[in-house]
Structure 1
Amino acid sequence: MAAGLVFTLLLGLSFGLWDGADAGCQLRAPTKLDCPAGWSWFEHRCFVFVPYQMTWAAAEKHCLSMDSHLASYHSREEYNFIRNLIHKATGKHTTSWVGGYDSAQVRF
């Protein structure tokens, strides 16, 4: 399986099915001081860019190993924050993995 260089952290700059992408992880944090070193805080969540190529499942597993999940966005402001975070880390707007769920398995 080929892996493509992409960022998995946070935001769906593009959605699609890739063999690989970089990863971005998020975790909840009441204050900026609660974020681990190297993570960025925005609206009670910490984000980090992970520059390793991996599948979506591997990216989520990597985030879980850091007690976090793939990033997701819930507002235009959060989308822009994530997009800028990726740009600062890579120097460009690159494709990213984001968190999600299997609608066939999840019922509300």
Structure 2
Amino acid sequence: MNFFLIFIFFTQINVIYQQNILPEHKRRHCKALQTLDIMEYALPMIRRILKEDSEKIRQEYEQVFTSLKGGFLFTCPEGWLYHDDNCYLFTTTKTTWQAARENCLSLNADLAEIINERDSYFVKSELQRIYNQEGVPKYSFYNLGGTDKANEGEWIWIRTGERIRFTNWASGEPNNVGRQEHYLTVGGTRHKWNDINHSGKCRAICQKSVGLRSVP
């Protein structure tokens, strides 16, 4: 509907242009400036509408759980979200980090990794969508696959053992309260990272590669 309104809006401007500006050569410059003023006023609104529609389309697309790429159908199980050739599950049960990982492993997945800005934006967007749902506790934290248990201060992704390079820590984090906070979470009001101890209970984000199926 928003795209239809935008189309009508531009059509009306075009009609005004053809009926008033073209026949009146002497006032062409003035009318053109008026049209530019209208466009300058309308563009922020148009950008907002397009951004909202783009986000809505993205979410609806992810709910289909499929992405077609070069002759293969990339699929995610029902309830999982597709992003960048991976499938993500945002759980609702609060558990310890270790229990969360065991649950992900039982689903042929592991705790999620946020390795770049694209991943961070995806997680932030989904968390905000979850927070906006009626009845959902606001600003919950979710377990991720990062830990510095083996060597304090050296954060790695548990699945690969690779050092964490991209970070999005909240101010003052990681602070290793009581010298026992060795596990990575994301959430809160600004969707930032935090470290927690082995007994802290959070929801979790599981991640696994998409399934592959040849397209006939």
TM over 0.5: yes
Aligned partner of residue 59 in structure 1, secondary structure: helix
Residues 63-108 of structure 1 deviation map (CA, whole Å, 9 limit, x = unaligned):
011100111111112101011112222324432211024443x588
Q: Which amino acid aligns with 2:86?
A: R
Q: Which amino acid aligns with 2:145?
A: G
Q: Under a length normalisation based on structure 1, what TM-score does the superposition of the two structures give?
A: 0.60
Q: 1:51 aligns with which of 92, 105, 109?
A: 92
Q: Please state if 1:63 is matched with 2:107.
A: no
Aligned partner of residue 52 in structure 1, secondary structure: coil
Percent identity between matched residues is: 26
Q: Please state if 1:42 is matched with 2:88.
A: no
In structure 1, the gaps of 5 or more residues are: 1-30
Deviation above 4 Å: which 4+ runs of structure 1?
Answer: none
Paired with 1:64 and 1:50, the residues of 2 have a C-alpha distance of 13
Aligned partner of residue 102 in structure 2, secondary structure: helix
Residues 17-43 of structure 1 deviation map (CA, whole Å, 9 limit, x = unaligned):
xxxxxxxxxxxxxx6342111111111
In structure 2, the gaps of 5 or more residues are: 1-65, 68-73, 133-137, 152-160, 164-216
- Count of paired positions: 77
Q: Please state if 1:73 is matched with 2:119.
A: no
Query: Max radius of gyration: which structure?
Result: 2
Paired with 1:52 and 1:40, the residues of 2 have a C-alpha distance of 18
Please tell me the root mean square deviation across aligned C-alpha atoms, in Å.
Answer: 2.3
Deviation of residue 44 (structure 1)? 0.7
Structure with greater helix percent: 2
Aligned partner of residue 100 in structure 1, secondary structure: strand
Paired with 1:95 and 1:107, the residues of 2 have a C-alpha distance of 23
**Partner residue, 1:94:** 140
Distance 1:83 1:93, change over 3 A: farther
Q: Which has the higher contact order (CA 8 A, sep 6+)?
A: 1
Q: Under a length normalisation based on structure 2, what TM-score does the superposition of the two structures give?
A: 0.32
